[in-house]
Amino acid sequence: MWALCFGALVIISFTYWVYRWRNPRCNGKLPPGSMGLPLLGETIQFFASNPSSDIPPFVKERMKRYGPIFRTNLVGRPVVVSTDPDLNYFIFQQEGQLFQSWYPDTFTEIFGRQNVGSLHGFMYKYLKNMVLNLFGPESLKKMLPEIQQAASSRLELWSRQDTVELKEATASMIFDLTAKKLISYDQENSSENLRDNFVAFMQGLISFPLEVPGTAYHKCLQGRRKAMKMLKNLLHERRANPRKHQSDFFDFVLEELKKEGSILTEEIALDLMFVLLFASFETTSLAITMAIKFLSDHPLVLKQLTEEHEAILKNRENADSGISWKEYKSMTFTFQFINETVRLANIVPVIFRKVLREIQFKGYTIPAGWAVMVCPPAVHLNHKKYEDPLAFNPWRWEGPEINGASKHFMAFGGGMRFCVGTDFTKVQMAVFLHCLVTKYRWQAIKGGNIVRTPGLQFPNGYHVKIMEKQTRFIST
């Protein structure tokens, strides 16, 4: 008898728990949606890859079923997904008041608990200003010759090879440049390969969070630990042998650490360096790979881009001089091309925030403590805003210059957390394109698949043959 009562109690308790899981408490009306399986939620469906350039199936299917705002559960956390431009804009404008930057525990474990994305308020603003010291306009003006030299030397190297796997090659180029500016790292003179650790990190970044040897997630964490160990050893070496003059970002960080009453800690500084190294090379190499693919597929775009850059050479007093800041700012069609590339590349596929106070929006209630996930691809591929949204059309950007984010364009985030490395990415892309179209021609040998995940995209196997050509315009 007691066994029957106990069994019945267990069944009732389990049934009630499942019911509460599927129907969370709310003071108003929750957005429609499904919370998925107990504990797992819809995590497995969310992590599924997408071999197309369209909105991820996870989001697209639920948009059709529930509308632009819906609820789900990811890695045990209730989440409201927003593909609504008005709600996205509201979220970014209320940063720090109603919403706070947040990422799942698995992401925090990967990027570090003191990474810049997890910090808020004054500490975040302090780190943002530090990064702007490196990537702000005045610094970028001084970096132009280095960026052009890096692009020119790599293109020359690639032109002597049979084929180049473009994503890998551009990632290597940008990592070397960024690591040099950040920590004066030179792979040829280093006993350890820092980038190899980031490659291992990348391969498991978007994977099911199972910390078991042999899994992609385990390899990801191993790559992070090794990279962090190298950065920590370098930090201690610099402290023991300080330089007389600042030559890189690490020197600037060390000066900040030495200041009396500094709020910067070694842990925060190392997490910052790690995130900057990762973000700069992975996102920009993706954008450049996509850019060359689009140029290969659209001859008219290539023609107009080439004409713009050859005109810059023709108008130079000295054909051998490097790109000036004035020339860079004059690249009107290039910026249109870059905007269209990052719109379709969707470099920032998801943006997470945490709800600080209960929100009422368009008849729905979003409870405090829940997460919200903004989905930029759904915004960038909205047929109501962009005619034929999957088509590559740089001319759609003719008109006012786009310098920041808007309701319909958030390729680099939005609000106060708009990516501080945006200008660095644009400069690298513009300079690389200038070197490419004025001196080289290329041929796609093997087209790779653009495999999208909720967090990243991997253009695998896109091989090209780079062939040098004579520059058409020579100064007299």
Dist. CA 466–CA 163, nearest whole Å: 7
What's the Cα-to-Cα distance from 191 to each of 186, 187, 223, 378, rounded to whole Å?
Answer: 10, 8, 17, 45
Quick one: which H or E segment has residue 305? helix 299-314
Dist. CA 60–CA 14, nearest whole Å: 32
* Number of residues written out for the chain: 476
- Rounded to the nearest angstrom, the gap between the alpha carbon of residue 86 and the centroid of all alpha carbons in its chain is 23
> In this structure, which amino acid lies at residue 405?
A
Dist. CA 275–CA 103, nearest whole Å: 14
Partners of 451 in the beta sheet? 458
- Rounded to the nearest angstrom, the gap between the alpha carbon of residue 107 and the centroid of all alpha carbons in its chain is 14
**For residue 227, which of 348, 110, 132, 103 has the smallest C-alpha distance?**
110
Dist. CA 285–CA 290, nearest whole Å: 9
Q: Which long-range contacts (CB under 8 A, 24 or more apart) does 193-199 make?
A: 194/227, 194/230, 194/277, 197/223, 197/224, 197/226, 197/227, 197/230, 198/223, 198/227, 198/277, 198/278, 198/281, 199/223
Q: Is 375 annotated as a binding residue?
A: no
**For residue 46, which of 32, 59, 31 has the smallest C-alpha distance?**
59
Dig out the tokens for 212 from the structure: 């078991």
Dist. CA 284–CA 242, nearest whole Å: 32
Dig out the tokens for 371 from the structure: 């997460």
Exposed, middle or buried: residue 224 (CB in 10 Å: 0-12, 13-18, 19+)?
Answer: buried
Query: Are the C-beta atoms of residues 304 and 333 closer than 8 Å to each other?
Result: yes
Dist. CA 281–CA 227, nearest whole Å: 15
Partners of 71 in the beta sheet? 33, 80
**For residue 88, which of 395, 362, 284, 328 has the smallest C-alpha distance?**
362
> In this structure, which amino acid lies at residue 13?
S
The SS3 assignment for 296 reads helix
Dist. CA 107–CA 215, nearest whole Å: 16
Residues belonging to the binding site for heme are: 419
Residues belonging to the binding site are: 419
